[in-house]
Structure 1
Amino acid sequence: MEAARFHGVELDIRDFAAEPGEASPSPASLARWLNDQGAIAKGMRVRWRYLVRLQNTPPIVLMFKDGSAALMVRADPERGVIWLRDPLGDVGSVPVAVDELRLSQVWTGDVLLVKRRRDLSEADAPFDVAWFAKIVLREKSALRDILIASLALSILTIFPALIVMQVIDRVVNYHSMATLVSITGIVVILSFYEILLTYARRELMLVVTTRIDTRLSLHAFNRLLALPLEFYEREQAGRILGRYMAIYKVRDFLTGRLMTTFLDMFTLLVILPLLFYMSSTLAWMTVACAGLIGLIVMVFLGPMARVYSKMVEAEMQRGSVLYETVAGIRTVKTLALEPTRRESWDETTADVVRWKLAAGRMANWPATLVMPLDMFINRGIIIVGAYLALQSDSGMGAGALMAFMMLGGRVAAPLVGLAKLLEDVNEVSTSLGEAGAVLNQPTETKALTTGMRPRVKGALSFQSVNFTYPGAAIKALNDVNFEVPAGTMLGLVGRSGSGKSTVTRLLQGVSRNYTGYLRLDGVELREINLTHLRRSFGVVLQDNFLFRGTVRDNITAGRPGLTIDDVVRAARLAGAEEFIERMPAGYDTWIEEGSTNISGGQRQRLAIARAVICDPKLMILDEATSALDPESEALVNANLQRIGKGRTMVIVSHRLSSLVDCDQICVMERGSVADIGPHAVLLERCDIYRTLWMQQNRHQTRGQGTGPASMLAEGE
């Protein structure tokens, strides 16, 4: 934290979670965490003689054997000492001089280098061919070795053809056993080297493709997580997943056929000059046929691209139907919607089949037109070559013809492969465009990794806040003004569409393109680091999602490093302890996907426990009890007073009875604040609140007076 603070990056150690099985933080896990928090960190092992020469450098973190660490702030190579400072001590504490002998007793040899990320271009770079090329070119050393091995293999491919020529012209024609023995020895030696080089190249290609796949997967998933919630709310989940998976088609192309064809081109460069030396006529025929193949493929590129894009769109639509059906299977079953979903599936499948058939037929034309040329390269050349061999002045014997046929096939394959490679360009360009439609959306990366990290107390201030949802003509919030001190229990009420949930969205940083000023403890919300802001809040929604895993894993989802004591404290505060202890495995009870093995009230209380485990100073409950049965709602409401002590609570609810004990109740109407005050005051002076209260408590007011005084008495 001290090293990061030196570079202007404020961190919260509670956000750190060690890797599973780590007794103490490792340089790798610390570097991962720092990189996620907007810094650039790298763990490495350094010897003393290099460490002591590091002068005029920022603080360097030294990892100790007992799991602790120290900051190296200065080094003196002439005296052979470095100066260390305790990162947990005061900033002005005096560093301690340490020599090699004393340091070797506690130091692991690992250091952590930290600096501020000045350029976020890698994280937010456009997802295109140039980005893919940059990822591939990172493996320069491995690619260099692959190219060397490919060049050596290309040279070795010449020798089998030359050996066949020698066998026919010298061994068979002259019955030379000595020559056959010599050629056999050469074949064995060359075969051994060819096998060895082929294995080495395959191993290198496997390593390179694995590294590229890892970087691609990590980057793409991080970009997916960095997309704002607004994007997910306006896009179909099935289409997002379909477009995201398209990146793997691009990956397969770059690391598969493209790389293989590129490497085979070395064979072409080595063998083609030899073919022209052996017979320029046959060589030109081979090159001309391969060129015609490429021309035919180029002609069909445009029509193929249009048909293929239609096919991809149809497949994506079918994927959306499948995802929606599986995600909403409970609704499908309970409402007997199988025929409707089956009809949708049949229609989308028909579209996919229709466009697949069209794409197949379109691809069949160039494949058919190419066949005669391909057959001529493999079969016709030998006929022309035999004719040339019969000519006494051609100079081509039987051995040379056989050698040309062997080498000609190796030359034609890369040329034909290069031409057919263009067929994949349509699929790859379409897949790249689909993936870019998701991954090139504006992200929250800058907001998540930069900004202030103030200590949150919970004071809120809205000053002339206006907000309009994208594409909407009416403001969701219109000149909202109110202010509450820290520790206030604030209720938000109003009719549907009045702007209650929009207020909570702005507080969570889901939407930041509002006008006016929204301050948290006097700091404008848009200036606060978004990760710090959200981790300082506890949020409970109407329908909370629990991950597939244990009860303990779900409660500690936001803070994986917390202990079982923290879990029990949070469960007790949320009123969940009593039912967790009745479960078969207690806190290790497994929660199935969709939380099918627990009730709605239990799910809500687990969500509250998950929200309060990090002891947030501000909690948001957005219709957290509206879907509960009366008994569960009563349990949750009874715990709100305990949960609310020492923290600001923002509670959105249609049920006014659950907000009676709030310090302040803000009444929203058409995006504006109609009134704000305690329950008793609002009953007396706010017509909107009084009407809502009377509608919900009609059974209590029946037969009694309906004036403000009588309703005030009932409210009290």
Structure 2
Amino acid sequence: MVNVPANAENQPDSIRAGAVEAAAGQPGGQNTARVPGGPAELDQVGPRLKAVLQAARYHGVELDPAEFRSATAVPTAADLSEWAQNAGMWSRAVRIRWSHLLRFQDAGPVVLLFSDGGAGLLTGASAERNIVFLKSADAPEDGEAIAVDELRLSQVWTGDAVMLRATRSQVAADAPFTLHWLTQLVRLESRPLRDIAIASFTLSVLTILPPLIVMTLVNKVLQFNSISTLVLLSAIIAVVFAYETLLGHARRLIINVVGARLDTKLQLHVFSRLLRLPLDYFERHPAGETMYHLAQVYRIREFLTGKLLSTFLDLITLCVLLPVMFYINATLAWVVVACGVVILLIILAFLKPLRRRYQRVVEAETWKSAAIGETVVGIKTVKALGLEPQRKALWDERVAEAGKARLAFGQLASWPQTLVTPIERLMVLGTMLIGAYLAMNDRSGYMVGSLFAFMMISQRVAQPLVGLARLVEDYEEVGAAIGEAASVLNRPLEASSNSIGLRPKLVGEVKFSDLTFSYIGTKTPALDRISFDIPAGSMFGIVGRSGSGKSTVARLLQGINRDYSGFLKLDGVDLKEINLRHLRQGLGVVLQDNFLFRGSIRDNIIAGRPGLTLSDAMRAAHLAGAQEFIERMPNGYDTYIEEGSPNLSGGQKQRLAIARALIHDPTILILDEATSALDPESEAIVSANLMRIATGRTMIIVSHRLASLTECDQILVMEQGKVLDVAPHAVLLERCPLYRQLWAQQNRHLDGHQGRPVAVLPRLV
């Protein structure tokens, strides 16, 4: 129940109980849903979860409470918003006022979070009556909403809310990375850009005053010795300078804010797209190449917030100053404009050659970045095999190619600058000479002051004209940078399936039916019309020679590759129809070579699961056989792991990876050659725990060590992408020649032979 202040006692009981308590819901009510990894006391968070569930259901999206994660006992608006976003919805955690609520007259439900941990659904509003309509989170979906005014709502609500809706067919995050997309991104900052434009226009007007004051000073003060006019002009100059200083400071601050916001949005967008790229992209492209292409985003950002914005502001100045120049002296103004046009024509003439030369620079720099990235990633192999001379020779070659390409580009790019420089000088000095000639032939005596004023204005006009011409040249480089970044960011996104797809409750039954799959660029299928079943809750082994397709089966189960023919069903649902995030949250995967992040052992075990505690990490470590060596470490579960895990052995890394896969209690656990890198002691520990690990889940073990598969319910034998046999270990030894051969090869030390004979020692004659 919501505590009602004493001043509400005068209200009728029906209004107070119905409008306030029903709106707040029953935070202490029971919630039978279990949230793995979430807060322990679900009766406190129940109403908030229910409210978001109902709001999502209104938009046709069914959220899964099992996917909710929260680091606090009562979920915050950010936790709930992230939950909805992970399910593919658009959602925002906001803090709004009563006046904003009155605008939601025809919008969908908005989740209001109450101060006591409860929640309610805003279903409508009436600005005329100054009320909103709320439903309790525990109320039935067809229940009626209750009218609540601002006073009553303020007793339980402080402004926290969650807005959510279904994603639209085309959102900004999914739009192609192009110049048009960047332009739309800049347009989102229309309000500060408008302020910048107003400030720039005002500053441009102010720049006119000093030249006009100088012209008046020469023509009036010096000619007629007017002290009063001089004093007045001095006061005007002081005011203008003070105002110009303050306005310029404000404009620079706004520009910095806009630049920071654009930079932040770009970086968030780039990293989000990078995470959503499919795994096969990273397998086919060097890390250095990808990083170099993405680094071009920063050049784009500098162009948008630097040269482009400054040129735009200069154009405002140009639009103000050009009419004044023509007013002062049309002849000199036409000279300035003609010089600007000639500069533009010179730069346009060099655009295509510069574009071709710059493309060579891009290719050379890409290969150079790929070389250094490959060396850094494989530095252990380089050191172990003594490959430093070979890698240095490769680096020298790539650096020479990049330097040659940059030199050729620089030599060609210097020609426009060489040709433009004298025209820039003519624009300033030429107008002064022509103006001096005109002043000598002027009998009115006012030409001298006009010449001074024109010279001051022309210096300010020359820079925008030259900057506008050079902007075209800069755009070519930025256009190439956009193409490089787009070559990565505009690839088909794996996460496009995150916002769609079914979310069935996973039990663990897997069925392959006449499935064929080929990798890109190969004609021979990796899997050729394979068919087999994996019952739910069983231990299933997969063996075969190298290249037989064992790991490909595991990749397909993870949804890494979906372009197969035939059927792969999980609990009777085609895997292509299942939401990718939902699928992978139900899987636990341990690879042969696992990556551990920088951080403590505990952080690595509970990676991505902030709602879990140390006891959860200890339980998973015990199940994986990792608890014993963790407790021997100096800081236990707080032991820090460096990049590359140099302070851990291969067996210890593998057992931590198994613990990380078990932390969220997956329905299906895939061990893809997970024990092949273990020492005999570690493998024995893991194998001893396999039966406990497999309890209550489907376990799929891909291994070339047959001894680790003897306890499996079924073992699949593969050869050249085809299924040879599926049976338990004892049956396969009898009827499968390949399995029997592999078993004999791995266990020949048990057949009583002593191995190869010892060579006869040579004798001295």
Report the TM-score, using the length of structure 1 for normalisation. 0.94
- Give CA deviations for 1:112-159 in whole Å, capped at 9, x if unaligned: 121111223422211110000000001111111111111111111100
Measured after TM superposition, the shift of residue 674 of structure 1 is: 0.6
Matched, 1:4 2:72: no
Please give the residue correspondences for 1:64-213 in structure 2 after superposition, counting only pairs within 5 Å: 64-73=114-123, 82-86=133-137, 103-213=153-263
Q: Distance in 1 between matches of 2:470 and 2:422?
A: 15
Task: State the secondary structure of the residue aligned to 2:725.
Answer: strand
Q: Which amino acid aligns with 1:447?
A: S
Q: Distance in 2 between matches of 1:319 and 1:394?
A: 68
Q: Distance in 1 between matches of 2:624 and 2:186?
A: 50
Measured after TM superposition, the shift of residue 41 of structure 1 is: 1.6
- Range that drifts further, 502-511 or 26-35: 26-35
Q: Distance in 1 between matches of 2:522 and 2:103?
A: 62
Q: Which residue is equivalent to 1:551?
A: 601
- Give CA deviations for 1:303-324 in whole Å, capped at 9, x if unaligned: 1111111112211211111111
Match of 1:684 among 724, 734, 740: 734
Match of 1:449 among 483, 493, 499: 499
Q: Which residue is equivalent to 2:490?
A: 440
Q: Which amino acid aligns with 1:345?
A: W
Measured after TM superposition, the shift of residue 239 of structure 1 is: 0.4
Measured after TM superposition, the shift of residue 240 of structure 1 is: 0.7
Q: Distance in 2 between matches of 1:165 and 1:60?
A: 64
Contact 1:47 1:109 in 2 (8 A): yes
Measured after TM superposition, the shift of residue 59 of structure 1 is: 3.1
Q: Which residue is equivalent to 1:404?
A: 454
Measured after TM superposition, the shift of residue 271 of structure 1 is: 1.0
Task: State the secondary structure of the residue aligned to 2:541.
Answer: strand
Match of 1:60 among 107, 110, 125: 110
Q: Distance in 1 between matches of 2:295 and 2:331?
A: 48
Matched, 1:666 2:716: yes
Go from structure 1 to structure 2 and tell me whether the alpha carbon gap of 1:151 and 1:99 turns closer, same or farther (over 3 Å shift): closer
Measured after TM superposition, the shift of residue 669 of structure 1 is: 1.1
Contact 2:219 2:446 in 1 (8 A): no
Go from structure 1 to structure 2 and tell me whether the alpha carbon gap of 1:167 and 1:74 turns closer, same or farther (over 3 Å shift): closer
Measured after TM superposition, the shift of residue 23 of structure 1 is: 6.7
Q: Which residue is equivalent to 1:540?
A: 590
- Range that drifts further, 436-445 or 385-394: 385-394
Measured after TM superposition, the shift of residue 56 of structure 1 is: 5.7
Measured after TM superposition, the shift of residue 35 of structure 1 is: 2.9
Measured after TM superposition, the shift of residue 686 of structure 1 is: 0.8
Contact 2:589 2:661 in 1 (8 A): yes
Measured after TM superposition, the shift of residue 44 of structure 1 is: 3.2
Q: Which residue is equivalent to 1:368?
A: 418
Q: Which residue is equivalent to 1:529?
A: 579
Measured after TM superposition, the shift of residue 75 of structure 1 is: 6.5
- Range that drifts further, 92-101 or 65-74: 92-101
Q: Distance in 2 between matches of 1:273 and 1:295?
A: 23
Measured after TM superposition, the shift of residue 263 of structure 1 is: 0.9
Task: State the secondary structure of the residue aligned to 1:111.
Answer: strand
Q: Distance in 1 between matches of 2:426 and 2:102?
A: 70
Q: Distance in 1 between matches of 2:340 and 2:656?
A: 67
Go from structure 1 to structure 2 and tell me whether the alpha carbon gap of 1:80 and 1:416 turns closer, same or farther (over 3 Å shift): closer
Contact 1:663 1:678 in 2 (8 A): yes
Go from structure 1 to structure 2 and tell me whether the alpha carbon gap of 1:586 and 1:12 turns closer, same or farther (over 3 Å shift): farther
Q: Which amino acid aligns with 1:240?
A: T
Q: Which residue is equivalent to 2:758?
A: none
Match of 1:425 among 475, 479, 483: 475
Q: Which amino acid aligns with 2:619?
A: R
Task: State the secondary structure of the residue aligned to 1:547.
Answer: coil
Q: Which residue is equivalent to 2:705?
A: 655
Contact 1:282 1:385 in 2 (8 A): yes
Go from structure 1 to structure 2 and tell me whether the alpha carbon gap of 1:631 and 1:417 turns closer, same or farther (over 3 Å shift): same
- Range that drifts further, 531-540 or 110-119: 110-119
Task: State the secondary structure of the residue aligned to 2:498.
Answer: helix
Q: Which amino acid aligns with 2:734?
A: E
Q: Which residue is equivalent to 1:713?
A: none
Q: Distance in 2 between matches of 1:211 and 1:495?
A: 54
- Give CA deviations for 1:336-368 in whole Å, capped at 9, x if unaligned: 111111101111111111111111111111111
Measured after TM superposition, the shift of residue 168 of structure 1 is: 1.8
Measured after TM superposition, the shift of residue 699 of structure 1 is: 1.3
Measured after TM superposition, the shift of residue 91 of structure 1 is: 6.0
- Give CA deviations for 1:349-407 in whole Å, capped at 9, x if unaligned: 11111111111111111111111111111222211110110013587522111110010
Q: Distance in 2 between matches of 1:49 and 1:150?
A: 34
Contact 2:211 2:454 in 1 (8 A): yes
Q: Which residue is equivalent to 1:714?
A: none
Contact 1:83 1:96 in 2 (8 A): yes
Q: Which amino acid aligns with 2:547?
A: G
Matched, 1:488 2:538: yes
Q: Which amino acid aligns with 1:555?
A: I
Contact 1:464 1:479 in 2 (8 A): yes
Measured after TM superposition, the shift of residue 446 of structure 1 is: 2.3
- Range that drifts further, 564-573 or 486-495: 564-573
Specify every segment of 5 or more residues in structure 2 that has no aligned partner in the other structure, as ranges: 1-51, 755-765
Task: State the secondary structure of the residue aligned to 2:159.
Answer: strand
Measured after TM superposition, the shift of residue 202 of structure 1 is: 1.1
Go from structure 1 to structure 2 and tell me whether the alpha carbon gap of 1:446 and 1:189 turns closer, same or farther (over 3 Å shift): same
Q: Which amino acid aligns with 2:63?
A: L
Measured after TM superposition, the shift of residue 53 of structure 1 is: 7.5
Q: Distance in 2 between matches of 1:568 and 1:70?
A: 38
Measured after TM superposition, the shift of residue 540 of structure 1 is: 0.1
Go from structure 1 to structure 2 and tell me whether the alpha carbon gap of 1:337 and 1:190 turns closer, same or farther (over 3 Å shift): same
Q: Which residue is equivalent to 1:600?
A: 650
Q: Which amino acid aligns with 1:140?
A: S
Q: Distance in 1 between matches of 2:577 and 2:485?
A: 31
Measured after TM superposition, the shift of residue 281 of structure 1 is: 1.3
- Give CA deviations for 1:469-490 in whole Å, capped at 9, x if unaligned: 1111011111111112110100
Task: State the secondary structure of the residue aligned to 2:404.
Answer: helix
Q: Distance in 2 between matches of 1:273 and 1:101?
A: 59
Measured after TM superposition, the shift of residue 561 of structure 1 is: 2.0
Task: State the secondary structure of the residue aligned to 1:593.
Answer: coil
- Range that drifts further, 167-176 or 450-459: 167-176
- Range that drifts further, 121-130 or 24-33: 24-33
Q: Distance in 1 between matches of 2:596 and 2:340?
A: 59
Contact 1:570 1:613 in 2 (8 A): yes
Go from structure 1 to structure 2 and tell me whether the alpha carbon gap of 1:660 and 1:308 turns closer, same or farther (over 3 Å shift): same
Measured after TM superposition, the shift of residue 583 of structure 1 is: 1.5
Q: Distance in 2 between matches of 1:393 and 1:327?
A: 79
Contact 1:388 1:396 in 2 (8 A): no
Contact 1:227 1:442 in 2 (8 A): yes
Q: Which amino acid aligns with 2:137?
A: D
Q: Which residue is equivalent to 1:339?
A: 389
- Range that drifts further, 169-178 or 491-500: 169-178
- Range that drifts further, 171-180 or 612-621: 171-180
Q: Distance in 1 between matches of 2:434 and 2:79?
A: 67
Q: Which amino acid aligns with 1:188?
A: A
Specify every segment of 5 or more residues in structure 1 that has no aligned partner in the other structure, as ranges: 705-716
- Range that drifts further, 217-226 or 557-566: 557-566
Q: Distance in 2 between matches of 1:703 and 1:376?
A: 97
Matched, 1:348 2:348: no
Q: Distance in 2 between matches of 1:564 and 1:585?
A: 14
Measured after TM superposition, the shift of residue 463 of structure 1 is: 0.7
Go from structure 1 to structure 2 and tell me whether the alpha carbon gap of 1:259 and 1:23 turns closer, same or farther (over 3 Å shift): farther
Q: Distance in 2 between matches of 1:615 and 1:393?
A: 97
Task: State the secondary structure of the residue aligned to 1:157.
Answer: helix
Measured after TM superposition, the shift of residue 100 of structure 1 is: 5.3
